[in-house]
Amino acid sequence: MTSNEKNYVDMQGLQRNFGDVAALDGFNLQIQKGELVALLGPSGCGKTTALRLLAGLDMPDGGKISVDGKDITNIPANKREMGMVFQAYSLFPNLTAIENVAFGLKVRGQDTNSRLKKAGELLELVGLSTQANRFSHQMSGGQQQRVALARALAIEPKVLLLDEPLSALDAKVRTQLRDEIRRIQIEVGTTTLFVTHDQEEAMAMADRVGVMSNGKLEQIDRPNIVYSSPTSAFVASFVGAMNRLPAKLDASKVHTLGQSVAHGGGASGSDLVALIRPESIEVSVGKTSGSKTGSVLARSFLGPQTRLTIVTSETKTNIHVDLPSSEAGPFAPGTLVELKISAPTLLTDYRVKN
């Protein structure tokens, strides 16, 4: 792989300020050719700003953007060859589905026949060839977003930009379309940057997930690694559910919930907060109340899994425990339970001690 393919999209030291607020603060991101990268973060973290800078719809106050080895920092949006799908429905209301898809080719001066042929092929790719003559208000939200995807792909963009394209859709259509976007992206092989606040979406679709906070990229890696080995407390708490338990540290062990467990290393200080995934705590029906016990406060059925909310007997902290629904029978609210931490997934919040 050449260096141009490895750093196909290269965003370096991007700075974007809105008044006193820095939406992006030294943002760096490299995307490989053909890769789908998801940017994940809470609202206001700067992920959409990063996408708009790459699209050229907004200009950075500092930093550099290059695509395929070419500096595009000062190139206007209409010369960048990016295909974008927006969060809000963005089809042109005065054009039919097929005219929408063909619009990008029309402004490039392609003749009517060849552009309608190409647009027809793309509508077929997104499964909407029967809807070609419909206007946007005659289509469902999911269909509109498919047409928008076809429209973005029609110009054979250098990078496909997806700005929360699924967030306005209902849950069922969302998962369906999510899988379909991924299928099409792999089929066409377009380098893609996907912005979302939905971690499930990011995890399910992306080759790599970048977690953002306060205008910076906190961590970027394969989804399973971001989940299992977060490099900061923010990433750990933002991706997946996380329990926060008061803990003490000595030598190599972390003491919490009346147990001593090993930690990933790097932690210092004596009073800490231990971060533990709900599925990393085992429960069994307890006998006598003590430091390792708690009582069930609530039991929520979530399909294959059941989540217990437990208040610990000594520290009175609320914790969540996930277990297979088939094993949740004995844990009615009020039950006294014994808690056991399965060690390897324990994480320690390095920064906390207020």
Partner 1 sequence: MAQKMKIKTSTVAPRLGFGLNAWLIAGFLFFVVPMFSAFLFSIQLGDGTYTLGAYQRMLSDPGFGEAIWISARLAIFTVLVSIGLMLPTVTWLHIRAQRLKRVVEFITLLPLIIPPVVIALGFLGSMPLWLKDSVYMLVFAYTVLTLPYVFRSLDNGLNAIDVKTLVDAARGLGASWRQVLVSIIGPNVKSSIYGAIFLAVALVLGEFVISNLLLWSTLPVWMALVGMSDPEGAVALSVMSLVFVWLLLMLLSSFDRKRKVRIDIGGVS
Residues that bind partner 1 (CB under 8 A): 55-57, 76-84, 86, 88-90, 92-94, 96, 103-104, 106-108, 133-135, 137-138, 148, 151-152, 155, 161
CA–CA gap between residue 192 and residue 59 (Å, rounded): 20
**CA-CA-CA-CA torsion sign (263, 267, 268, 270):** negative
List C-alpha distances in Å: 164 to 25, 46, 56, 193, 241: 22, 13, 17, 11, 22
How would you classify residue 323: left for phi > 0, otherwise alpha for psi between -120 and 50, otherwise beta? beta
Q: Which residue, 162 or 347, has its beta carbon nearer to partner 1?
A: 162
Q: Which residue, 119 or 235, has its beta carbon nearer to partner 1?
A: 119
Q: Which residue, 96 or 243, has its beta carbon nearer to partner 1?
A: 96
CB of 34 to partner 1, least distance (A): 21
162, 201 Cβ separation under 8 angstroms? no
CA–CA gap between residue 43 and residue 41 (Å, rounded): 6
Q: Which residue, 148 or 276, has its beta carbon nearer to partner 1?
A: 148
Q: Which residue, 87 or 335, has its beta carbon nearer to partner 1?
A: 87
Q: Which residue, 100 or 306, has its beta carbon nearer to partner 1?
A: 100
Q: What are phi and psi of 148, to 5 degrees?
A: -60, -35
CB of 295 to partner 1, least distance (A): 51
Q: Which residue, 104 or 230, has its beta carbon nearer to partner 1?
A: 104
CB of 133 to partner 1, least distance (A): 7
**Contact partners, residue 214, CB within 8 Å, separation at least 6:** 22, 25, 45, 46
CA–CA gap between residue 341 and residue 99 (Å, rounded): 59
Q: Which residue, 41 or 157, has its beta carbon nearer to partner 1?
A: 157
CB of 103 to partner 1, least distance (A): 6
Q: Which residue, 17 or 325, has its beta carbon nearer to partner 1?
A: 17
Q: Amino acid letter at 92?
A: F
List C-alpha distances in Å: 173 to 84, 121, 134, 258: 20, 23, 20, 46
DSSP-assigned states of every residue in 112-180? HHHHHHHHHHHHHHTT-GGGTT-BGGGS-HHHHHHHHHHHHHHT--SEEEEESTTTTS-HHHHHHHHHH
Place of tokens 């010369």: 79
Q: Which two tokens stand for residue 262?
A: 């090993």
Closest alpha carbon to 122 in 167, 156, 159: 156
CB of 270 to partner 1, least distance (A): 52
